[in-house]
Amino acid sequence: MAITVTPETFSFVSFDSAYIARIANLVAEQLGLTDIDIEIAVDETSPLTRIDVEVTDSLISIRPLSGALEDTRRPRQQSELATTLAMARSMLRARDRLRGGFENAPLDTELSLPQAAAWDTYILGRITRMSIEVKKQAALYNFRNRHGFNDASDHVFEKIWNAETFTWDELSALSANTLTLSA
Amino acid sequence: MANPQKPRAPFAPWDRRELPGSFSVEETARRVGHYKWAEMKLFEALGGWIATVPELDIKMRLGTHCYKHAWHAELWHKRLPELREMNPERLTLPANDAMVRFIDAMTEPEAPELTIEKLVGVYRVFIPHFISAYTYHLNNTSEITDMPTIRSIKFILQDEFDDWREGEMLIQSLLETPEEVDRAAAHQAKLEKIMLEAGGIAGPGSIGINTPAPQGAMS
Amino acid sequence: MKKFMPVEELARDERFNQITQADRMSDARSAVPANAESTRRSSNRLTPARADASDAARALMHGIFVGEIQALEGAGRTCWDFTTGEEAPFGLKLDMARQAWDEARHVEISLKLGDWMGSDVGQYAENTVLFQAACSNDPVLRLAGVNRALEGLAIDVFTSMKEFGEMAGDPYLEFCEDWMLADEVTHVKMGSDWLRKVTENDPERRKKALEFQSIVDKMFSYGGSRSDSDESSLGIARRFRELAGFTSDENEHIADLGLQALEERKAQIREKQAAAKN
């Protein structure tokens, strides 16, 4: 497994590429992603938080905007927790695609907002159980924004949050059914 | 239903209000002017302190209490012309020099680590003295001629009791060591001594002790 | 306690990290595309349609929360800083005390909304520009800065958040923002009325106050975060601004300032990004 981080030195933010690589390495080992190369390309020109992930059989490519790794209390400074979360989210998504059950999942760019929220909930629930600090209420708020502010939506959120082995078809069906119930 | 033509007593059997009261119009106006001055000083201090206290819950309470005392000042401002004082500013005065010194001493603490002193000044000294002066006024003024003052005092006392309770609980929540208890007590004693000199919110006689001889009152 | 408190002395507990507008503007990164040919999304408007809507709404909510704290402090300081009668009319100070109570409630509401949206107190840096820019030592300028510029900005922000809540179907957010919006309209109206009254016989002072407001308004456009352009996350809430006493001309002026600030910020970003690349 090789992990590369670009840029090597940052001009817009005070990030440390070696530190990002170390965190990525730890997360990859925790997730059992030791047989694949990982390339991390930070777009330091944007403070937004989006992360694009592309996966092939031999490479996971993670492209976060700098806001995704940033300490929101100290602008332009790197946050260990945010970096850990960003890596864990990206790698879990990649692992879902690589390890089966998610063959039918659309490309990240083609996911609907509710589908993306449902998948993110599934990812964050598992990250919590890796003993990484996750704000569950923030995840719930995002899920509600995409599936409705009601009991049915909250019930499905809990189900997804606690799940360990969903397939894409199960996950997307839950998301679609919740939208129908909320309509 | 009883015969509507039948004469009824103008004061119902349960209406036990009495006409006599301890305060003349002038004396009432004097007291009300002092109340207004003191309430103004209090709302100004609370407003100023908001930015100086780091404790978020206390910051919000000071903002809330600031308005209540401003409203009390406004009630007294509106009452003064009804007491024949057409220039309310003329009677908007401290009871005496000691009262001015009390306000100066109460508003002296500024640093962020002096929240205990700020709260003690307001909630263990100033507001209890408001409660005393208002209660004395409420219980001694004419229940018929001075009903507008009574009505205002009742509204105000409700606020004072609520704020006193909240302030006292905030103080208790801040006192974590015997040294802090001493700090609170020392500041309270310092201010209380000045208030003693002032004789209360409305000066000597605020609660009936050392009352100047009433003029034109009917008691 | 002294009169006129410098912004550096605003008291906070250890959860907060304060930054200045200069810190913020020295950040060469931008959510706003500096070049027209940029491939980033064309609209930055805060709507649920944005992929990062929940994060962005949460960050804005925290911005509202600290803004309310500073507005509370600003209103409170007006009660203290100016002598009644000589420097500020009694009625004006009563209104500022009322505003302090309203802002205290807004802080409470923002805290509850922060919990609801999943953020913590102090999770984001606190930009102290609101207090710094708005709290002039001249009571008339302070009215213009706090009650018209700052509270006017609050009208724009609350309108955006209320619409966000409506679109997302979030009844809690919509309900709270609507109530806060009602208060802000009242505060702007207080400012408009007092400014008119206090400068009734002093057109020069009024002109100076309005010029000051214009400067603060531009500053509060945060490098184009508020303008009629879709590149800005916030729009100008014209209807509520008019209810609060802003004239159509004043609203157009604020809209122009927003666009100006946006273009200036884009030029600044282009320059900083070019410098960083070299």
State pLDDT tens for residues C104-160.
Answer: 999 999 999 999 999 999 999 999 988 887 788 888 888 888 888 888 888 999 999
**CA dist., res. A1 & res. C85, Å (int):** 75
Kindly state whether residues A89 and A136 are assigned to the same domain. Answer: no
- Answer whether B48 touches C (CB < 8 Å): yes
pLDDT score, position C36 = 45
Last residue of a domain, one of A68, A98, A128: A98
pLDDT score, position C39 = 44
Give how far B27 is from chain C: nearest CA, Å.
Answer: 24
Q: Please state the length of chain C.
A: 278
State chain C's mean pLDDT as an integer: 88
Query: Does C have 3 or more CB contacts under 8 Å with A?
Result: yes
Is A103 a member of any domain? no
Nearest to A117 by CA among A174, A40, A169: A174
- Residue B86 predicted with pLDDT over 90: no
Of the candidates A72, A138, A149, the beta carbon closest to that of C118 is on A138
User: In terms of pLDDT, which residue wins out, C198 or B186?
Assistant: B186
Residue A90 CA neighbour count, 13 Å, CB half: 32
Q: How confident is the model at residue B219 (pLDDT cuts 50, 70, 90)?
A: low
Question: C127: which residues sit within 8 A by CB, 6+ positions away?
Answer: C18, C19, C20, C21, C23, C24, C63, C66
Of the candidates B45, B48, B89, the beta carbon closest to that of C85 is on B89
Strand pairing report for A37-41 and A3-6: parallel
Residues of C in contact with A75 (CB under 8 A): 19, 23-24, 27, 125
- Residue C34 predicted with pLDDT over 60: no
- Answer whether B50 touches C (CB < 8 Å): yes
**CA dist., res. B26 & res. C146, Å (int):** 41
pLDDT score, position A84 = 98
| Residue A56: alpha-carbon gap to chain centroid | 17
Output DSSP code: residue B13. Answer: T
Q: What domain range includes position A176?
A: 108-182
Over the stretch A60-116, which tens digit does the pLDDT of each residue have? 999 999 999 999 999 999 999 999 999 999 999 999 999 889 999 999 989 999 999
Residues of B in contact with C121 (CB under 8 A): 56
Closest chain A residue to C44, measured at CA: A48
Residues of C in contact with B69 (CB under 8 A): 97
Residues of A in contact with C58 (CB under 8 A): 138, 141
**CA dist., res. C266 & res. C260, Å (int):** 10
pLDDT score, position C98 = 97
DSSP letter for each residue of B21-66: BS--HHHHHHHHHHHHHHHHHHHHHHHHHHTT---HHHHHHHHHHH
| Residue A147: alpha-carbon gap to chain centroid | 19
Residue B94: strand, helix, or coil: coil
Beta bridge partners of A40: A5, A62
**CA dist., res. C245 & res. C255, Å (int):** 16
Of the candidates A11, A113, A138, the beta carbon closest to that of C51 is on A113
**CA dist., res. A148 & res. A103, Å (int):** 27
Residues of C in contact with A148 (CB under 8 A): 169
Residues of B in contact with C100 (CB under 8 A): 47, 50, 63-64, 66-67
- Answer whether C40 touches A (CB < 8 Å): yes
Is C96–B47 a contact, with Cβ atoms under 8 angstroms apart?
yes
pLDDT score, position B215 = 58
What is the mean predicted confidence (pLDDT) over B94-109?
98
- Residue B218 predicted with pLDDT over 90: no
- Residue C33 predicted with pLDDT over 70: no
Is A75–C55 a contact, with Cβ atoms under 8 angstroms apart?
no
> Taking every pair of C-alpha atoms in chain C, what is the biggest distance, in angstroms?
59
What is the mean predicted confidence (pLDDT) over B149-162?
98
Is A37 a member of any domain? yes
Kindly state whether residues A94 and A131 are assigned to the same domain. Answer: no
CB C202 within 8 A of CB C139: no
Is A46 a member of any domain? yes
CB B60 within 8 A of CB B121: no
- Answer whether C58 touches A (CB < 8 Å): yes
Phi, psi of B21 (to 5 degrees): -150, 160
Q: How confident is the model at residue C32 (pLDDT cuts 50, 70, 90)?
A: low
Give how far C39 is from chain B: nearest CA, Å.
Answer: 43
pLDDT score, position A163 = 96
State chain A's mean pLDDT as an integer: 95
- Residue B57 predicted with pLDDT over 70: yes
**CA dist., res. B182 & res. B190, Å (int):** 12
Kindly state whether residues A43 and A68 are assigned to the same domain. Answer: yes
Phi, psi of A48 (to 5 degrees): -70, 175
- Residue C278 predicted with pLDDT over 60: yes
Closest chain A residue to C27, measured at CA: A12
| Neighbouring chains to C with at least 3 Cβ pairs closer than 8 Å | A, B
Closest chain B residue to C10, measured at CA: B51
Is B46–C107 a contact, with Cβ atoms under 8 angstroms apart?
no
State chain B's mean pLDDT as an integer: 95
**CA dist., res. B4 & res. B1, Å (int):** 8
| Neighbouring chains to B with at least 3 Cβ pairs closer than 8 Å | C
C13-20+47-202: CATH homologous superfamily?
Ferritin, core subunit, four-helix bundle (1.20.1260.10)
**CA dist., res. C33 & res. A56, Å (int):** 30
**CA dist., res. C58 & res. C115, Å (int):** 10
Q: How confident is the model at residue C37 (pLDDT cuts 50, 70, 90)?
A: very low
Kindly state whether residues A155 and A173 are assigned to the same domain. Answer: yes
What is the mean predicted confidence (pLDDT) over B86-106?
95
- Residue C40 predicted with pLDDT over 50: no
- Residue A118 predicted with pLDDT over 50: yes
- Residue C224 predicted with pLDDT over 80: no
Over the stretch C257-271, which tens digit does the pLDDT of each residue have? 888 888 887 888 777
Closest chain B residue to C121, measured at CA: B56
Is A50–C170 a contact, with Cβ atoms under 8 angstroms apart?
no
- Residue A183 predicted with pLDDT over 80: no
What is the mean predicted confidence (pLDDT) over B74-81?
96
- Answer whether C163 touches A (CB < 8 Å): no
CATH number of B25-198: 1.20.1260.10
Domain count, chain A: 2
Nearest to A90 by CA among A111, A119, A133, A48: A119
* Cα separations in angstroms, C234 against A142, B6, C182, C224, C259: 20, 71, 18, 9, 12
Is B47–C94 a contact, with Cβ atoms under 8 angstroms apart?
no
Q: How confident is the model at residue B147 (pLDDT cuts 50, 70, 90)?
A: very high
Kindly state whether residues A148 and A69 are assigned to the same domain. Answer: no
**CA dist., res. B155 & res. B159, Å (int):** 7
Over the stretch A46-67, which tens digit does the pLDDT of each residue have? 898 999 999 999 999 999 999 9
Closest chain A residue to C167, measured at CA: A145
Number of neighbouring beta carbons within 10 Å of residue C74: 28
- Answer whether B67 touches C (CB < 8 Å): yes
Nearest to B53 by CA among B63, B43, B44: B63
Kindly state whether residues A83 and A16 are assigned to the same domain. Answer: yes
- Residue A139 predicted with pLDDT over 80: yes
Q: Which spans in B55-199 are helix H? A: 56-82, 88-91, 97-106, 115-119, 127-140, 147-174, 178-198
Is C170–A72 a contact, with Cβ atoms under 8 angstroms apart?
no
User: In terms of pLDDT, which residue wins out, C217 or B152?
Assistant: B152
Of the candidates A74, A145, A182, the beta carbon closest to that of C53 is on A145
Kindly state whether residues A156 and A70 are assigned to the same domain. Answer: no
Q: How confident is the model at residue A38 (pLDDT cuts 50, 70, 90)?
A: very high
Is B52–C9 a contact, with Cβ atoms under 8 angstroms apart?
yes
Over the stretch B18-37, which tens digit does the pLDDT of each residue have? 999 999 999 999 999 999 99
Kindly state whether residues A28 and A92 are assigned to the same domain. Answer: yes
Burial grade of A9 (CB within 10 A; 0-12, 13-18, 19 or more): exposed
Of the candidates A73, A116, A140, the beta carbon closest to that of C122 is on A73
